[in-house]
Amino acid sequence: MNLRYGLFLVGITLSGAPMVTHARTLECQGTIVSEGDTEQQLLDACGEPTSRQGANWQYDIPGSLPVVVTLGEGLIMF
């Protein structure tokens, strides 16, 4: 297979895949939450997540990729 054609196929495949980012900090409504902050601080700053899958909470930030925040023992672990 031609290398250029292979790269094209990879690009087409990835363009349809949902993109989610894992961040070290998250800004919501002017408040920044970061690793080590509590679950309550996250809820106060960002509200309820768009979805929850166990310890992974997803936030859909307007104008940005979705962000997944991982919680452990009540603290943000990103």
24: left (phi over 0), alpha (psi -120 to 50) or beta: alpha
What integer pLDDT is reported at residue 78 of this predicted model?
Answer: 80
**Distance between CA atoms of 28 and 53, rounded to whole angstroms?**
20
**Distance between CA atoms of 71 and 59, rounded to whole angstroms?**
13
Contacts 24+ apart (CB under 8 A), 59-63: 59/26, 59/28, 61/26, 61/28
Full pLDDT tens readout for the chain, 78 residues = 555 544 444 444 444 445 555 558 999 989 999 999 999 999 999 999 999 999 999 999 888 899 999 999 999 998
